[in-house]
C-alpha cells in the first residue's frame, strides 16, 4: 500500500507525539501516534486493523499513481452514476428587495417566465422522469415567490408526473423569505417542497441597510416573523453576506434569533459569505470591501471567526466535502426566465456563456467554460483537489476577464482547513 497524495498532516500541538490526518477524498479525520505515522511513511509493519482502517479512510491506497489517474475520471464516473437531474429555475428577475450588492443588478427587471417557456421546462423534465431520473428543482429569481402561481403550476404538474413514473420530484426555493408565510409553505409542501434557502445579513440595522424592500423599508422583521412561522415545518438553510466593516457583528443576529425563540435546530445549515462584485464586475458604493478573491487575510479571518461562532451557538455549519462546479455535471443547469440554459447563475446576463435553450440541444461548452481546467499536474498533485476541482469559474472570470485558468484555492485551504477540521471536532454538537 502507498500513501495517498490527497492527504494533509497536521501536528497535534496539544498532544505531543501525535498527528492528525485529513484524507481529503473522503474528508475523514484520523489521529495517530507518531510511531505509527513513522511506520506508515516508511512502509513499516502494520497490523491488519491499522492497514484496513487507513485504506478505508483513504490514507493508504493500493497504487498512488493509479489514484491520480482515477481523479481524472471523477466527474465521468459521477455523471454515469447520477440518476437525478438538478435544475435551478429562474421564475422571474423581478424582486421586492433592492439589495445594493445583488449580482443580478446588471440584468434584473420585470422579466417573468412565459407560459411557453414553462411548458418547455415541464416537457423536458417529464422526458427525464420517463427515462427514470429523479428531478430536483431549486426555484430562483429575482424573488421566486413573486411568481408563486407559476411555481405552483410547474411543481404541481411535475409532482404528478413523478408519481405516475415512480420517480422522485422535490424542490427547494431560494427566497428572501419576505413572502414565505406558513400558509404559503403549507400549500407548497404537498407539491414537493423540501427546503428553503434564505438570507439574513446580520443584526437588524445592518440587514435593513443591505436588504431593504424596494420602498426602502427594512425587511428584517418580516423575514424573522416568517422564519418563526416556518420553524419546525421545513428545513431552512440560512445564509448571510458580510463586508469587512460589519462581519464581526453577525453573531449578534444568531443571538437575536435564539432570544426570539428560533432554535438552532430550525436551520439545516448556516453559512456567511463575503460580498463579491456583481455579475458584470461592478461594485455597489455601499459595499466597497467586495473582492474577487477569497484568500485576502481579512476574509480568511472573518470566515473562520464566523464559522466558529455559528458552531459555538449550536447551529450547524456545512462540513468540507468533495465538491465541484455545476460545469462538471452533465444533467444540471441554470434555466433563465427565457429558457436559456447556463452553468452558473452569475452567467445569466452573458449570452456568450449560454450553453443552450430548453427544447433544443445543449452546445458543447467544454472550451467556453474550460471544463478540464484542473486536469494539470499542479492540481492533480494537490492534496486539496477533491475539495476544489479548479475553484470558481465566476471568480476567475472576475479577476482576469476570462475563464482562462483555475481559481486556485490552495492559499485559502492552507490558511483555513486545519482550523475548520478542529472546529468541527471541538465545537460541533456541543450545545
Partner 1 sequence: MPLLSVLILQHHFREKEVEQMREDQDLMVLEEGVSCDVEMACKCTKGPIKVN
Q: Which of residues 170-199 bind partner 1 (CB under 8 A)?
A: 174, 176, 197, 199
Write each residue from 97 to 136 as x if it is in contact with partner 1 (CB under 8 A), else as -, in one continuous string: --x-xxxx--------------------------------
Which of 148-156, 157-165, 178-186, 267-275 is the region at the interface with partner 1 (rule: CB under 8 A)? 267-275
CB-neighbour burial class of residue 367 (10 A; exposed 0-12, middle 13-18, buried 19+): exposed
- Residues touching partner 1, count (CB under 8 A): 76
Tell me the closest approach of the beta carbon of residue 421 to partner 1, in angstroms: 8
The interface mask with partner 1, positions 5-44, x = CB under 8 A, is ---------------x--x-xxxxxxxxx-xx--------
The answer to whether 155 and 171 are in contact (CB under 8 A) is: yes
Q: Is 425 in the site for partner 1 (CB under 8 A)?
A: yes
Q: Does 315 bind partner 1 (CB under 8 A)?
A: no
Q: Does 274 bind partner 1 (CB under 8 A)?
A: yes
Site track for partner 1 across 76-95, x = CB under 8 A: --x--x----x-x------x
Q: How far is the CB of 213 from partner 1 (least distance, A)?
A: 14
Query: According to the binding rule CB under 8 A, does residue 391 interact with partner 1?
Result: yes
Distance CA 240, CA 88 (A): 20
Supply the minimum distance, in Å, between the C-beta of residue 119 and partner 1. 25
Residue whose C-alpha cell reads 425563540 in the numeric block: 261
Phi, psi of 253 (to 5 degrees): -65, -40
Listed residue (201, 83, 195, 79) closest to 139, CA to CA: 195
Q: Closer CB to partner 1, residue 274 or residue 349?
A: 274
3-state secondary structure of 388: helix
288 sits near partner 1 (criterion: CB under 8 A): no
Strand-pairing partners, residue 28, are: 23
d(CA 274, CA 292): 10
Tell me the pairing of strands 28-33 and 60-61.
unpaired
Q: Which stretch binds partner 1 (CB under 8 A): 119-127, 224-232, 375-383, 391-399?
A: 391-399
Among 49, 110, 183, 430, interactor with partner 1 by CB under 8 A: 49
Is residue 323 involved in binding partner 1 (CB under 8 A)?
yes
By CB under 8 A, is residue 226 in contact with partner 1?
Answer: no
As given in the structure block, the three cell numbers for residue 30 are: 484520523
User: How many angstroms separate the Cα of 197 from the Cα of each of 237, 270, 405, 430?
Assistant: 5, 10, 31, 25
Q: Min. distance of Cβ 116 from partner 1 in angstroms?
A: 25
Q: Does 388 bind partner 1 (CB under 8 A)?
A: yes
Q: Contacting partner 1 (CB under 8 A), which of 4, 161, 170, 345?
A: 345
Q: How many Cβ atoms are within 10 Å of 248's Cβ, its own excluded?
A: 15
| Grid coordinates given for 51 | 492497514
Q: The C-alpha cell of 219 is what?
A: 425587511
Contact 314, 20 (CB under 8 A): no
Residue 396 touches partner 1, criterion: CB under 8 A = no
Q: Are 79 and 330 in contact (CB under 8 A)?
A: yes
Return the residue of 332, 338, 414, 418 that touches partner 1, per CB under 8 A: 332
Amino acid at each position: 500500500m502507498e500513501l495517498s497524495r490527497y492527504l494533509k498532516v497536521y501536528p497535534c500541538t496539544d498532544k505531543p507525539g501525535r498527528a492528525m490526518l485529513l484524507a481529503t477524498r473522503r474528508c475523514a479525520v484520523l489521529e495517530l501516534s507518531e510511531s505509527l505515522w513513522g511506520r506508515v511513511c516508511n512502509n513499516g509493519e502494520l497490523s491488519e486493523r491499522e492497514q484496513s482502517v487507513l485504506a478505508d479512510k483513504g490514507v493508504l491506497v493500493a497504487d498512488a499513481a493509479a489514484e491520480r489517474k482515477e481523479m481524472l475520471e471523477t466527474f465521468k464516473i459521477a455523471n454515469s452514476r447520477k440518476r437525478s437531474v438538478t435544475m435551478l429555475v429562474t421564475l422571474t428577475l423581478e424582486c421586492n428587495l433592492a439589495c445594493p450588492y445583488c449580482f443580478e443588478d446588471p440584468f434584473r427587471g420585470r422579466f417573468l417566465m412565459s407560459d411557453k417557456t414553462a411548458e418547455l421546462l415541464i416537457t423536458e423534465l417529464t422526458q427525464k422522469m420517463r427515462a427514470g431520473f429523479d428531478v430536483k428543482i431549486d426555484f430562483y429569481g429575482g424573488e421566486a415567490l413573486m411568481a408563486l402561481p407559476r411555481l405552483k403550476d410547474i411543481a404541481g404538474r411535475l409532482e404528478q408526473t413523478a408519481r405516475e413514473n415512480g420517480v422522485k420530484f422535490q424542490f427547494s426555493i431560494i427566497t428572501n423569505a419576505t413572502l414565505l408565510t406558513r400558509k404559503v409553505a403549507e400549500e407548497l409542501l404537498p407539491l414537493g417542497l423540501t427546503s428553503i434557502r434564505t438570507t439574513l445579513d446580520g443584526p437588524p440595522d445592518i440587514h435593513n441597510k443591505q436588504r431593504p424592500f424596494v420602498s426602502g423599508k427594512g425587511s428584517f422583521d418580516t423575514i424573522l416573523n416568517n422564519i418563526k412561522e416556518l420553524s419546525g415545518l421545513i428545513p431552512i438553510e440560512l445564509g448571510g453576506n458580510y463586508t469587512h466593516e460589519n462581519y464581526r457583528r453577525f453573531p449578534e443576529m444568531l443571538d437575536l434569533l435564539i432570544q426570539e425563540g428560533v432554535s438552532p435546530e430550525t436551520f439545516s445549515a448556516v453559512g456567511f459569505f463575503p460580498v463579491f462584485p456583481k455579475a458584470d464586475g461592478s461594485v455597489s458604493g455601499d459595499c466597497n470591501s467586495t473582492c474577487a478573491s477569497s484568500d485576502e487575510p481579512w476574509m480568511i479571518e472573518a470566515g473562520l471567526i464566523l464559522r466558529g461562532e455559528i458552531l459555538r451557538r449550536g447551529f450547524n455549519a456545512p462540513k468540507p466535502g468533495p465538491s465541484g462546479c455545476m460545469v462538471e455535471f452533465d444533467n444540471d443547469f441554470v434555466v433563465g426566465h427565457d429558457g436559456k440554459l447556463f452553468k452558473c447563475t452569475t452567467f445569466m446576463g452573458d449570452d456568450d456563456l449560454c450553453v443552450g435553450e430548453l427544447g433544443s440541444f445543449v452546445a458543447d461548452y467544454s472550451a467556453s467554460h474550460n471544463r478540464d481546467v484542473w486536469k494539470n499536474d499542479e492540481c492533480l498533485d494537490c492534496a486539496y483537489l477533491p475539495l476544489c476541482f479548479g475553484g470558481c469559474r465566476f471568480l476567475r472570470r472576475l479577476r482576469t476577464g476570462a475563464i482562462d485558468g483555475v481559481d486556485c484555492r490552495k492559499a485559502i485551504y492552507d490558511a483555513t482547513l486545519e482550523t475548520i477540521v478542529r472546529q468541527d471536532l471541538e465545537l460541533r454538537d456541543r450545545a
